[in-house]
Copies of this chain bind each other. A is one copy, B any other.
Amino acid sequence: MTRDQARECARDILQIIPLVMRTVAAQLRSAGELPAPAHFGLLSILCERPRMLTELASLQGVSMPTMSNSISAMEERGWVRRAAPTEQDRRVAMIEVTTTGRAALERVARSAETHLAEMLAPVDVTSRRRLHNGLGVLRKIFASEPAASAGRQRNRRGRRPYVA
């Protein structure tokens, strides 16, 4: 990729992603799912299988305090549970999704689906395929677990909240 292409791509991302973000967030807000934008991904991950906090922070690319708070918020809503520490290692608290949580995920997905379907309706087939492919690429780029970095408080394994 040439310098110009990189810059164009950067501008595109910087202009478009926040816009999409705002729109989706607004849709969820209006659907009464206030804190969903950040929690949705978490629920998805946790539906797969329970995880520890560090793992979740890594996967989502946020700091551990942030993840701790998010989980606390979701716990209060009854969407997840901090499982009792195991005999193996009493430090870790595995996070599990509850039935309520699964239902919430379903609800949010349905809500988003409705709104997005509306927005996607006027889009032709070719564009939809392009959208799908493009999202796939973004996923590959941003959802992978890049090389670890050094130092405390920096998600040593996996994605980190970009420190320098």
Contact = CB atoms under 8 A, between A and B. Distances in A.
Within the oligomer, what is the number of copies of this chain?
A: 2
A131 B138 contact: yes
> For A62, A132, A140, A142, which residue has the most chain B Cβ atoms within 10 angstroms?
A142
A13 B143 contact: no
Majority DSSP secondary structure for residues of A touching B: helix
Interface in A4-56: 5-7, 9-24, 26-27, 29-30, 37-38, 40-41, 44
Contact of A137 (B131, B161, B164): B131
Interface of A: 1, 3, 5-7, 9-24, 26-27, 29-30, 37-38, 40-41, 44, 60-62, 108-110, 112-113, 115-117, 119-121, 123, 127-128, 130-143, 159, 161-164
